[in-house]
Amino acid sequence: MAFEALDELLDESLELPVAGRLYTVPAPSAEIGLRTQALINAAAVAADGGRADEQVLGDAAERDLYRDVLGPAHDQMIADGVKWPALKHCAITAMVWIAQDKQAAERYWNAAGDPSRLAPNRAARRNRSGAASSTPSRGSTSGTRTRPAPARGKGKKDRKPH
């Protein structure tokens, strides 16, 4: 078995529909991908209450990260007059794609960036799955039973053997 050409195996672009137009975000360079990954990891550490690498966050702030992750789609969006919330959503979607994968980016995009829509609560998942909400859980099938607790107030010598 031989390795197939990698460029034929990977889907190296992201198609984002905005205001009736489809913008193509090409795969970033390795440098941009590594920087984006480092930034997202630092942000996750900070969000969890840890100490983020300030150099990583500072470097990212000095550069135009949105322009980098969107590539030529950034300038096209600006020329087309795309509004800031849409451009920001596109850029963060591209960052999710770079740091994770296309499926994670699609979930983020379709949730409109709302974290509560990314991880629906248990009841919503249950309702979507079609499972009955009042199905009782099955009891133990191990064939064993627990011993009844001794009656209160009786000592060990007063207990009956089992």
**3-state secondary structure labels for all residues of 37-100:** HHHHHHHHHHHCCCCCCHHHHHHHHHCCHHHHHHCHHHHHHHHCCCCHHHHHHHHHHHHHHHHC
pLDDT, one tens digit per residue, over 32-91 is 999 899 888 887 777 777 776 666 666 555 568 899 999 999 999 999 999 999 999 999
Q: Yes or no: say if 23 and 73 are a contact pair by the CB < 8 Å rule.
A: yes
Residue 75 in tokens: 């300038």
In this prediction, residue 39 carries a pLDDT of 86
∠ CA 47-77-74, nearest 5°, is 55
Q: At what angle do helices 84-99 and 102-110 cross, to 10 degrees?
A: 150
Question: How far apart are alpha carbons 86 and 71 in whole angstroms?
Answer: 16
Q: At what angle do helices 84-99 and 30-47 cross, to 10 degrees?
A: 100
pLDDT, one tens digit per residue, over 82-131 is 999 999 999 999 999 999 999 999 999 999 878 777 665 444 555 555 55
Question: How far apart are alpha carbons 90 and 4 in whole angstroms?
Answer: 31
Domain boundaries, the chain: 11-117
Output phi, psi for 21, to 5 deg.
-125, 145
Predicted TM-score (pTM) of this structure = 0.64
Contacts of 56 (CB under 8 A, 6+ apart): 38, 39, 41, 42
